[in-house]
Amino acid sequence: MAKELWKGNEAIAEAAIKAGCRFFFGYPITPQNEIPEYMSLRMPQVDGCFLQAESEVAAINMVYGAAGAGARVMTSSSSPGISLKQEGITYCAGAELPCVIVNIVRGGPGLGGIQPAQSDYFQATKGGGHGDYRLIVLAPASVQEAVDLVQQAFDMADQYRNPVMVMGDGMIGQMMEPVEFTEVEKRPLPEKTWATTGTKGERQTNVINSLFIDPAECEKHNHRLYEKYKAIENNETRVEKYNLDGAEIVFVAYGTTARIVKNAISALEKEGIKAGMIRPITLWPYPYKAIEEAAGLDSVKAFMAVEMSMGQMVEDVRLAAAGKKPVHFYGRTGGMVPTPKAVVEQAKMILGGVK
């Protein structure tokens, strides 16, 4: 298939269809509206079901019901709407329901704004809803990568019986880029023998549930979940290492910001400064090891996290660097996007300071 020009949100929706998603429950919120709009047209063409819910709360609970019934199901929203979905997300995690949640992040807190942001990092990776649970969080840096990751997200969700969040930002959702829909590598997936499909008189009854009234049972459930999360950490951590060889400064950035940082790296190179980048593709599980290894490189003098936030992911960079090298931060927030020039200036200031 040749490359076609696709808008990020619509490409994400089509990728879900191609991955076999046949149920979509959503609610309007900018800047992700093209996802439900596209789904409303496309789902009937593939005998699927698009439903506009009365709220984000209802939408995620429809996802819960459909996922529990064994379907491939997705919802999408943007930051304030994702906050509303947190109840349903923790129930999905607790009941181990595979589903895909797309967050096209906008500025916050509160109503915030409608321009691109990365200020939902804490919410996505450190909990969001109540209780001990983890989401697999995928962070595409291009429309092509969004398409690839959305397709893989459904397989990951099914393999681990866990919700997967695809976290783009307003830029990924709204920009148009050339895209090629390629077949993603298929994983062997377990049968959904646990799903509530009606017994058809062929098996014992199935129950989808996250309630364990006996605290010892609830603790056991949590331990079992954490064994699963350990396996996800071992198998699914993804990272792009860029230009690390001989780098004096190593940027850590994801999503749209990583694209901007790549421009800054080229600009620095022209000035004779060697810079590299670690780009987490999975925000959870986080690629701590890649940063830890870079911290051990003799050439590396400092890390600089660049985010469209006041500094959220930088905390994980510090954890990984473990004091071996200084960790700096530069960010714009509230819908403002960093410029390569500003990143270059910050980097030069840091290197001056480090020297």
Q: What is the smallest separation between the CB atom of 170 and another protein, expressed in angstroms?
A: 27
Q: What is the smallest separation between the CB atom of 65 and another protein, expressed in angstroms?
A: 3
State the binding string over 118-137 for another protein (x if CB under 8 A, else -).
--------------------
Rule CB under 8 A: is residue 68 a binding residue for another protein? yes
Q: Which stretch binds another protein (CB under 8 A): 10-18, 34-42, 102-110, 194-202?
A: 194-202
Q: Which stretch binds another protein (CB under 8 A): 7-15, 105-113, 120-128, 203-211?
A: 203-211
Q: Which stretch binds another protein (CB under 8 A): 66-74, 226-234, 266-274, 347-355?
A: 66-74
**Cα(174)–Cα(293) distance, rounded to whole angstroms?**
35
Q: What is the smallest separation between the CB atom of 235 and another protein, expressed in angstroms?
A: 29
For residue 51, give the nearest of 20, 90, 24 by alpha carbon: 24
Rule CB under 8 A: is residue 186 a binding residue for another protein? no
For residue 249, give the nearest of 240, 259, 261, 237 by alpha carbon: 261
Rule CB under 8 A: is residue 355 a binding residue for another protein? no
- The single residue among 110, 188, 201, 272 that binds another protein, judged by CB under 8 A, is 201
Rule CB under 8 A: is residue 45 a binding residue for another protein? no
Q: Which string of b and e fits 115-134 if b means at least 16 CB within 10 Å?
A: bbbbbbbebbbebbbeeebb
List, in order, residues 6 or more apart from 265 with CB less than 8 Å away. 242, 243, 251, 275, 276, 277
Nearest-5° angle of CA 303, CA 294, CA 239?
95
Which of residues 217 and 271 has its CB atom nearest to another protein in the complex?
217
Rule CB under 8 A: is residue 66 a binding residue for another protein? yes
Q: Which stretch binds another protein (CB under 8 A): 132-140, 202-210, 280-288, 322-330?
A: 202-210
Rule CB under 8 A: is residue 25 a binding residue for another protein? yes
Kindly state the tokens that stand for 222.
């949590």
Which of residues 208 and 297 has its CB atom nearest to another protein in the complex?
208
- The single residue among 186, 200, 270, 355 that binds another protein, judged by CB under 8 A, is 200
Rule CB under 8 A: is residue 63 a binding residue for another protein? yes
Kindly state the tokens that stand for 28.
């309007």
3-state secondary structure 269-310: HHCCCCEEEEEECEEECCCHHHHHHHHCCCCCCEEEEEECCC
Q: What is the smallest separation between the CB atom of 158 and another protein, expressed in angstroms?
A: 15
Q: What is the smallest separation between the CB atom of 183 and another protein, expressed in angstroms?
A: 25
State the binding string over 89-108 for another protein (x if CB under 8 A, else -).
--x---x-------------
List, in order, residues 6 or more apart from 307 with CB less than 8 Å away. 118, 121, 253, 254, 257, 313, 314, 329, 331
**Cα(43)–Cα(20) distance, rounded to whole angstroms?**
11
For residue 7, give the nearest of 144, 109, 100, 121 by alpha carbon: 144
Q: How many Cα atoms sit within 13 Å of 297 on the Cβ side?
A: 21
Q: Count how many residues are written for the chain.
A: 355
Q: Which stretch binds another protein (CB under 8 A): 1-9, 152-160, 197-205, 227-235?
A: 197-205
- 249-252 β-sheet, strand order: 239-242, 275-280, 249-252, 302-307, 327-331
Rule CB under 8 A: is residue 21 a binding residue for another protein? no
- The single residue among 6, 12, 23, 328 that binds another protein, judged by CB under 8 A, is 23
Site of interaction with another protein (CB under 8 A): 23, 25, 49, 51, 53-55, 57-59, 61-71, 73, 87-88, 91, 95, 196-201, 205-211
